[in-house]
Amino acid sequence: MKRVFSGVQPSGELHIGNYLGAIRQFVQLQDQADCFFCVVNLHAVTVPQDPAVLRQKTLEVATLYLAVGIDPLKATVFVQSEVPAHAELAWMLQCLTYYGELSRMTQFKDKSIGKQNFSVGLFTYPTLMAADILLYQTDIVPVGQDQKQHLELARDLAQRFNQRYGPILRVPEPMIGEVGAKIMALDDPGKKMSKSADNINNRINLMDDAKTVQKKIARAVTDSGNEVRYDPEYKPGVSNLMSIYSTFSGESVATIASRYTGQGYGAFKGDLAELINRELGVIQKRYQELKASGTVEEILSQGATKARQVAEETLQQVKEKMGFIV
Ligand code: TYM
């Protein structure tokens, strides 16, 4: 059975970009592979976090994992800080990583640009991400497009380690969807939808109520003209909305375009909001049930026990190969 690993940061509100780009794939994969889904709170503290909010968000992301349909009987769901091997392997990988490699990471450049001070953790973040993946001898990593460069580093580090010390670490493959892997911002289709954007109209959060979704879609930037046509270069706003429609409905953009021929943006946007609300409604209902059940912490605790066993096994092999006394 193939091994799958992926993670989501408990920072900000999860949005439909996270869902369509990554989390929705998790649910499908749990029936075909041995899956580990992690709430990566060590990654979240690369930028300042309020401790109480971080704790709450960590539980929220875990609850959302379960609410979208991840079944703890099929997949291992856990919190990163509960497995110390992540931080340990990250250090060892840092010592294999070149300064130049991390300097070229576009996400680091985007997040640090114009800031006077940012943490060293923000810089070394991709090595922690590599550790997350490599500890579980992962075959497949379902992620959105923005994580591709980080995945390439994880692959390079696995290969480098194996060449230097012997074949211990499995080289992972990214799994990046054809549609949905890069959902753009609703207020600016030139930027990606993001948890950290200041404008709340940038995104649709998984916990947004139906009215909010309707409003945000109605306000979403479209392009001049009124033709519902997929053309990312000349019609980036409408094309982004069509990608969202297509990922939620499972229909091709061509089918969607022909349905709205001659109808303009209004009808299309109204139906899109309804489509999103139908799916989010189910998730939100399950979320509230899970929250009320009080079972999430126990699920996380069991997940961490299993994750620790698997991660420790790899860590011991790595330590031995590197010459640490084990
Ligand atoms: P994070 O928390 O920023 O995002 C979680 C997942 O959502 C995807 N995503 C998107 N997909 C489509 N369109 C968007 N606009 C969009 N925005 C975000 C991300 O690609 C990601 O798959 N570094 C990772 C977390 C991480 C991780 C890992 C992932 C840590 N360790 C190991 C995989 C394996 C991150 O910050 O994702």
Residue 89 is encoded by which pair of tokens?
């392997």
Ligand 1 pocket residue status of 216, Cβ below 6 Å: no
Residue 25 Cβ < 6 Å to ligand 1: no
The answer to whether 104 touches 278, Cβ cutoff 8 Å, is no
* The amino acid at 205: N
User: Does 182 fall in a domain?
Assistant: no
- 73 shares a domain with 216: no
- Token pair recorded at residue 215: 């409003």
81 occurs within a structural domain: yes
Confirm whether 185 is domain-assigned.
Answer: no
Task: Examine the domain organization and report whether 68 and 207 are in the same domain.
Answer: no
In a domain? residue 183: no
Return the top range by mean pLDDT from 70-74, 175-179, 223-227. 70-74
Candidates 62, 83, 73; CA nearest to 296 is 62
Q: How far apart are CA 299 and CA 146, in angstroms?
A: 29
Two structure tokens written together for 69? 């349909």
CATH number assigned to the domain comprising residue 243: 1.10.240.10
Whole-number mean pLDDT of the chain? 96
Q: Are residues 205 and 100 in the same domain?
A: no
Predicted pLDDT at 41: 98
Domain around 16: 3-176+294-322
pLDDT higher than 90, residue 196: no
For residues 258 and 20, what is the distance between their CA atoms, to the nearest angstrom?
Answer: 23
CA distance 128 to 278: 37
Domain assignment of residue 148, yes or no: yes
Residues 154 and 254 in one domain: no
CA distance 84 to 233: 45
Domain assignment present for 221: yes
Do 305 and 278 lie in one domain? The reply is no
DSSP, collapsed to helix, strand or coil, labels residue 105 as coil
pLDDT tens by residue, 115-152: 989 999 999 999 999 999 999 999 999 999 999 999 99
Q: Per-residue pLDDT for 258 more than 90?
A: yes
Does 228 lie in the same domain as 114? no
Return d(Cα 179, Cα 242) in angstroms, integer: 10
- Angle, CA of 264, 269 and 271, to the nearest 5°: 110
Same domain, 211 and 99: no
Residue 120 covered by a domain: yes
| pLDDT value for 225 | 86
Q: Write out pLDDT tens, residues 82-98.
A: 999 999 999 999 999 99
Tens-digit pLDDT profile for residues 273-313: 999 999 999 999 999 999 999 999 999 999 999 999 999 99
Dist. CA 194 → ligand 1 center (Å): 10
Query: Annotated catalytic, 115?
Result: no
Instruction: Please report the atom of ligand 1 found closest to the CA of residue 129.
Output: 31
Question: Is residue 178 predicted with pLDDT exceeding 90?
Answer: no
Q: At what angle do helices 51-67 and 264-293 cross, to 10 degrees?
A: 100
The domain that holds 114 is classified in CATH as 3.40.50.620
One domain, residues 50 and 122: yes
Q: Is 239 in the pocket of ligand 1 (CB under 6 A)?
A: no
Of the candidates 192, 216, 235, 269, the residue annotated as catalytic is 192
Backbone angles phi, psi at 251, to 5 degrees: -95, 155
Strand partners, 274: none
Helical (H) or strand (E) element with 35: strand 34-39
* In a domain? residue 187: no
For residue 244, which of 282, 198, 205, 275 has the smallest C-alpha distance?
A: 275
Are 39 and 86 contacting, i.e. CB atoms less than 8 angstroms apart?
no
Residue found under tokens 């000349």:
234
**Same domain (yes/no): 103, 150:** yes
Domain match, 305 and 158 both: yes
How confident is the model at residue 223, as a pLDDT? Answer: 84
pLDDT band at 6 (very low <50, low <70, confident <90, very high): very high
> Do 258 and 144 reside in the same domain of the chain?
no
Whether residue 153 is found in the same domain as residue 250: no
What is the percentage of the chain residues whose pLDDT exceeds 90?
A: 95
Task: Please indicate, yes or no, whether the overall pTM of this predicted structure exceeds 0.95.
Answer: yes
The atom of ligand 1 lying closest to the CA of 128 is 31
List the residue whose alpha carbon is closest to atom 20 of ligand 1: 144
Q: What share of the chain in percent tops pLDDT 70?
A: 100
Interval between CA 64 and ligand 1 midpoint (Å): 15
Q: Is 111 a catalytic residue?
A: yes
224: confidence class by pLDDT, cuts 50, 70, 90: confident
Q: Is 291 a catalytic residue?
A: no
Ligand 1 atom closest to the Cα of residue 9 is 2
Number of domain units in the chain:
2
